[in-house]
Amino acid sequence: MATLELDAATAVASLDIFDHLRDEGFGELHFRVDPISGLNAIIAIHSTKRGPALGGCRFVHYDSSQAAITDAMRLAKGMSYKAAVCGLPLGGGKAVILKPAKIADRPALFRAFGRFVQDLGGRYITALDSGTQLTDMDIAAEVTPYVASKTHMGQNNDDGDPAPYTAKGTFRGLEAIVKHSLKRSDLKGLRVAIQGVGAVGYPLAKALHEAGASLWVADVNTEATARCEKEFGAKVVDFHEIHRVDCDILSPCALGATLNDHTIPEIQAKVIAGCANNQLAEDRHGQMLKDLKIAYAPDFVINAGGLIHAATQYLHHSDAKAAQHIENIYDAIYTICERAERLNQPTNIIANQLAEERLK
């Protein structure tokens, strides 16, 4: 049964929440309000069938509490699928903290969040995500052991930042879909448009540049694009126009839902392979891409490197085992593309089926 913690007013306004939870296969949805620290947080636990639910904590502004709930649920489900496809002994969860206009005491806020995580008794393990820092996770870890990203982590006290590993996995997944769809065993001379060159997009751009690809980049942060222009000879494009670039590969590495009714008809790329979560605005957009003969690497598979890193650090697995799991992203993407071609179905549907088979 789904478990829901809501105040009376929210419950009245959300009478269909239980149906929604059941439809999405959810186990738990938790809310925490702490007036002293100003914490307003949600933890969504999609599944614990394969193990405790691991997923990052987002600390961003939301237009409404409903938008925050939707984000938490979508991301938690993606984490479940990601862990299942990668063969990790974990379930999927996600936390979101609604970022206030003014933060009075950030350490106090993250201690309160840590107590929230602790009260769930290990069913949810938190980690770094958009808007949070390793120092925030260090503070949460003062009151709970269920933290998978810290300043010093694992057997070698490695940095717990998952971003470089997300980039590594994305690069290997991109190579796999290029091999399958473009029949290329290298990336030399391929034209790649990257939307978002931040913590993950920048190291991905670097790897692509070193592999001989030509780059177009876009980001709301002009310093980030200027860096890529200087270091990689990348051409800078407007953030909202980069999907229109005449290129071989479009790599969404920023916002979700960028593949939608408006953008898809304008895409000129032959392949889409990026690290952003929830790239398809709706599942049906996978079919739209297929109809246009655009190969799509399912986001929750190609961007699994960060989860793999956090999981292996938390579970004290060896670096070699973590590296092998990340290499497996290549095989997973290639297998999904092959099955999708054989069954004449969109790759996102095949990826979902593969995850659900493993969850069951």
Would you state the pLDDT for residue 303? 95
* Distance separating alpha carbons of residues 229 and 160, to the nearest angstrom: 28
Same domain? 133 vs 167: no
Same domain? 15 vs 106: yes
Same domain? 306 vs 341: yes
How many structural domains compose the chain? 2
* Residue 1 confidence class, pLDDT cut points 50, 70, 90: very low
Would you state the pLDDT for residue 11? 40
Same domain? 302 vs 341: yes
> Exposed/middle/buried for 273, CB within 10 Å: 0-12, 13-18, 19+?
buried
pLDDT of 345 over the 60 cut: yes
Same domain? 249 vs 351: yes
Same domain? 225 vs 125: no
**Per residue in 193-226, pLDDT tens?**
999 999 999 999 999 999 999 999 999 999 999 9
The most confident of the ranges 67-81, 148-162, 241-255, 311-325 is 241-255
Residue recorded with tokens 């999708």: 340
Q: Which CATH number belongs to the domain containing residue 68 in this structure?
A: 3.40.50.10860
Q: How far is CA 17 from CA 75, 79, 116, in A?
A: 17, 20, 22
Q: Which CATH number belongs to the domain containing residue 228 in this structure?
A: 3.40.50.720
| Residue 287 domain flag | yes
Same domain? 214 vs 246: yes
Same domain? 115 vs 64: yes
Active site positions, annotated: 94
Contacts of 325 (CB under 8 A, 6+ apart): 86, 87, 88, 308, 312
Same domain? 181 vs 51: no
Same domain? 169 vs 119: no
What's the mean per-residue pLDDT of the chain?
91
| Residue 81 domain flag | no
| Residue 342 domain flag | yes
Cβ atoms within 10 Å, residue 266 = 10
| pTM value > 0.75 | yes
What is the span of the domain harbouring residue 336?
163-359
pLDDT of 228 over the 90 cut: yes
Would you state the pLDDT for residue 240? 94
Same domain? 51 vs 177: no
pLDDT of 313 over the 90 cut: no
Mean pLDDT, residues 16-37 taken together: 87
> Minimal CA–CA distance to 203: which of 217, 189, 190?
217
Q: What percent of the chain has pLDDT over 90?
A: 77
Q: Pick 18 or 199 by higher pLDDT.
A: 199
* Residue 337 confidence class, pLDDT cut points 50, 70, 90: very high
Cβ atoms within 10 Å, residue 75 = 25
Would you state the pLDDT for residue 160? 66
